[in-house]
Amino acid sequence: MDSHGDNEQRVVWTVVGTDIGPLLLAATRDGLVNVVFHATDAARDRALDRLAARLGTEPVEAPGSPLLTEAIHQVRAYFAGRRRDFDLPLDWSLISGFNRQVLRELASGVPYGSVVGYGDLAGRVGRPGAAQAVGLAMGANPLPVVVPCHRVVESDGGIGGFGGGVDTKRRLLALEGVLPEPLF
């Protein structure tokens, strides 16, 4: 129960400017629940509508909320090169099953500055041969950057796809020293 004596889920959000464009950060009492790339007006509004539908409550813009303070701080520090790991409570309620298992392994087992192949990650969760399913899990990641799906690449050395766009993936890998800094 909250201080008003009810059990209603509360979702707060803000948009943070980064080197890869605006990121929408949304949180519940349980932790960071969603990170959305390219959070300009239209993309932001679609993301907020999806969150409202999935979580059953209207997200409230609250950049000063204590539920967001540490996430904002850590995201800014990451893009400034002062943070390599995120240490935030995460609300995994937007993802379940195999996808959640894969994303938890990714978050805990693939450190800053390294990459893993889709097939290798499938093997780590006991499903060798499920590389395509891992790719689908990456595409369903509700917490990109914080749960680093940009670190998952093709086994043949290709960069692979990315929900935020391949240029965004390249920039994140360059920030972490995996790729040379893009020339743009």
Cα(162)–Cα(67) distance, rounded to whole angstroms? 28
Cα(146)–Cα(94) distance, rounded to whole angstroms? 15
Tell me how many degrees the CA angle 173-99-78 measures, rounded to the nearest 5: 30
Structural tokens at position 59: 């997200």
Q: Which helix (H) or strand (E) holds 32?
A: strand 31-36
Cα(92)–Cα(83) distance, rounded to whole angstroms? 22
Cα dihedral across residues 94, 49, 34, 161: positive or negative: positive
Which of 67, 149, 152, 175 is flagged as catalytic?
A: 149
Whether 149 is catalytic: yes
DSSP result, 3-15: TTS------EEEE
The residue behind tokens 């965004």 is 168
Cα(78)–Cα(165) distance, rounded to whole angstroms? 19
The residue behind tokens 């060798």 is 128
As annotated, the active-site residues are 149
